[in-house]
Amino acid sequence: MPLLRKYFCSEHRLPENHECPQMELARTPKEETRPVTVQKPYQYSVSYIPVETATRGRVHFSSVEIKHLSIAALLVAGIGASWGIYSYTDPLILTLFAVVFAASFLAHELAHKFTAQKSGLWAEFRLTLFGAALTLLSIVSPLFKIISPGTVMIGGFFERGKVGKISVAGPLTNIVLSVAFLLAAFLVPVGNIIFLPGFAINAWIAFFNLIPFGILDGFKVFSWNKMVWALAFATSLILTIASYMLLPI
């Protein structure tokens, strides 16, 4: 039936008020537009915590995050053991290498997480497919060693200053650990076999992450406060150069 175009007064404008011959069209429910979910190569289910818990700055770990952190720590520990095996064969020393590498990585990521959560934001560590694969490859590769199995994901309302402080927390933690390992190497010479590598790996992690490029911490810190970035970057650079001069392997 062709559509009848007529004009009606305000009292009879509705279809049910003027005996519309095509009433069924008026009553047909319109097709709803629904959001389309795009499946990404890897997708995470987020564990939410109550807002009031986040705003109180409490530290929180979900079961998913603990699993991801455990896998990441094992991957990084593997790099530590594979790096030490070029100069040492003692299982105890290789185990210590693995522990130092894993602890240095975890200290960096947890510093980001704790700073974000203390600021009232949601923050959890997640593995990334490409980063975990690259880290796994680094365990067996004699040519390069890259530690990047995942990152701390942050959600909530925050301004540039808060992002800058969260970003600099990781590298600063590694700088402090690097200096602590260096002092320990001088004070306890017998521990140089572990202390100097611990000094070096923390210096490298801090330096690499403070490069002001792309998604690295350095870019966020540089955008927030150039003076803070310059001091942190210069310190990590000095420590990295010193590590190449002092490291026996």
Q: What mean pLDDT do residues 213-240 have?
A: 95
Q: Find all residues with CB under 8 Å of 146, minimum gap 6, and list them.
A: 134, 135, 138
Is the per-residue pLDDT at 181 higher than 90? Answer: yes
Max Cα–Cα distance, the chain, nearest Å? 99
pLDDT tens digits, one per residue of 93-134: 899 989 999 999 999 999 999 999 998 899 999 999 999 999
In whole numbers, what is the pLDDT of the chain averaged over residues?
82
CA-nearest of 202, 203, 194, 196 to 95 is 194
Q: What pLDDT is stored for residue 159 in this prediction?
A: 82
Q: What pLDDT is stored for residue 12 in this prediction?
A: 59
Cα distances (angstroms) measured from residue 32 to each of 15, 25, 29, 35, 166: 22, 16, 9, 10, 42
**Which runs of consecutive H residues, i.e. helices, occur in the chain?**
23-27, 51-55, 63-84, 91-118, 129-140, 160-187, 192-209, 217-224, 226-246
C-alpha 96/C-alpha 87 separation (Å) is 14
Dihedral in degrees, nearest 10, Cα atoms 59, 76, 180, 209: -80
pLDDT tens digits, one per residue of 141-180: 887 888 889 999 998 887 888 999 999 999 999 999 999 9
pLDDT tens digits, one per residue of 49-89: 444 445 456 788 999 999 999 999 999 999 999 888 877 77
Its pTM stands at: 0.74
Q: DSSP string spanning 95-151?
A: HHHHHHHHHHHHHHHHHHHHHHHHTT-EEEEEE-HHHHHHHHHHHH-SS-----SEE
